[in-house]
């Protein structure tokens, strides 16, 4: 289950990429920028969601 500890960081890396994509395409294609902004928000949510459940899983194993 070590991969769960590192898989949450994939979401934060993807979120950074989508934020960069949103910023660079804002003036040329706003529909694409809004999609990237939505994916950034989703990736950020998934990062915190995974981190929360990973900590919950660790606490359960430590008892």
pLDDT in tens, 5-42: 788 889 999 999 999 999 999 999 999 999 999 999 99
Q: Using the predicted structure, report yes or no on whether residue 45 has a pLDDT greater than 70.
A: yes
Task: Specify the pLDDT at position 24.
Answer: 96
Task: Specify the pLDDT at position 42.
Answer: 96
Sign of CA dihedral 19, 23, 24, 30: positive
Q: Which residue did the predictor score with more confidence, 2 or 14?
A: 14
Q: Using the predicted structure, report yes or no on whether residue 4 has a pLDDT greater than 80.
A: no
Task: Specify the pLDDT at position 19.
Answer: 96
Q: What whole-number distance in Å separates Cα of residue 56 and Cα of residue 37?
A: 29
Phi and psi, residue 43, nearest 5°? -65, -40
Termini Cα distance of the chain: 17
């Amino acid at each position: 289950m070590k991969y769960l500890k590192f898989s949450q960081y994939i979401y934060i890396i993807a979120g950074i990429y989508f934020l960069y994509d949103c910023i660079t395409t804002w003036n040329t294609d706003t529909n694409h920028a809004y999609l990237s902004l939505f994916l950034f928000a989703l990736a950020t949510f998934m990062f915190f969601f995974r981190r929360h459940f990973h900590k919950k899983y660790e606490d359960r194993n430590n008892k």
